[in-house]
Homo-oligomer: A and B are copies of this chain.
Amino acid sequence: VPIRAGIVVTGTEVLTGVIADRNGPWLSDRLRDLGVDLAHVLIVGDRREDMAAALAFLREQGMRLILTSGGLGPTADDLTAEVVGEFQGRAMVLDEALEERIAEILRPLAKRFPNLDMDAIRTGNAKQAVVPEGATILDPVGTAPGLVVPPPQIAPPPQAQGQLGGKGESSRVVGGTTAETTAAEGPTVVVLPGPPRELQPMWEAALTTEAMCEALAGAGEYRLKVLRLFGIPESEIAETLRVAEREGVALDRLEITTCLRRGEIEIVTRYEPHAQDTYTAFEAVVRRRHADTLFSEDGSTIDELLAGLLRERRHTIATAESCTGGLLAARLTDPPGASDYVLGAIVAYANEVKSALAGVDPVLIERSGAVSTEVAQALAEGARIHLGADVGVGITGIAGPSGGTPEKPVGLVCFSVAGPGADQHLTRSLTLPGSRADIRDRATTVAMHLIRRALRQRS
Closest to A251 in B: B76
Q: Which residue of the partner chain, among B53, B239, B352, contacts A120 with CB atoms under 8 Å?
A: B239
Known contacts A324-B330, A330-B327, A357-B344, A13 near B268 by CB under 8 Å: yes
Q: Is the CB of B236 within 8 A of A16?
A: no
Bound form: Cα–Cα A412–B208 in Å:
32
The count of residues in chain A whose C-beta lies closer than 8 Å to any C-beta of chain B is 115
The verdict on A437 contacting chain B, using a C-beta distance below 8 Å, is yes
Q: Specify which chain B residues have a CB less than 8 angstroms from the CB of A112 in the assembled complex.
A: 431
Bound form: Cα–Cα A385–B255 in Å:
58
The verdict on A173 contacting chain B, using a C-beta distance below 8 Å, is no
Bound form: Cα–Cα A259–B72 in Å:
11
**Of the 9-residue stretches A24-32, A275-283, A302-310, which lies at the interface with chain B?**
A24-32
Q: Specify which chain B residues have a CB less than 8 angstroms from the CB of A43 in the assembled complex.
A: 24, 40-43
Q: Is the CB of B234 within 8 A of A74?
A: yes
Chain B's nearest CB lies how many Å from the CB of A55?
A: 12
Known contacts A13-B266, A120-B238, A436-B336, A325 near B349 by CB under 8 Å: no
The verdict on A20 contacting chain B, using a C-beta distance below 8 Å, is yes
Q: Which residue of the partner chain, among B327, B387, B401, B438, contacts A336 with CB atoms under 8 Å?
A: B401
Closest to A245 in B: B76
| Interface, chain A (partner B; CB < 8 A) | 11-13, 15-20, 24-26, 28-29, 32, 38-47, 50, 53-54, 57, 61, 73-77, 109, 112-113, 116-117, 119-121, 123-124, 142, 194-195, 197, 224, 226, 232-239, 241-242, 255-261, 266, 268, 270, 318-319, 321, 324-330, 332-334, 336-339, 342-350, 352-353, 356-357, 386-388, 400-402, 431, 433-438, 440
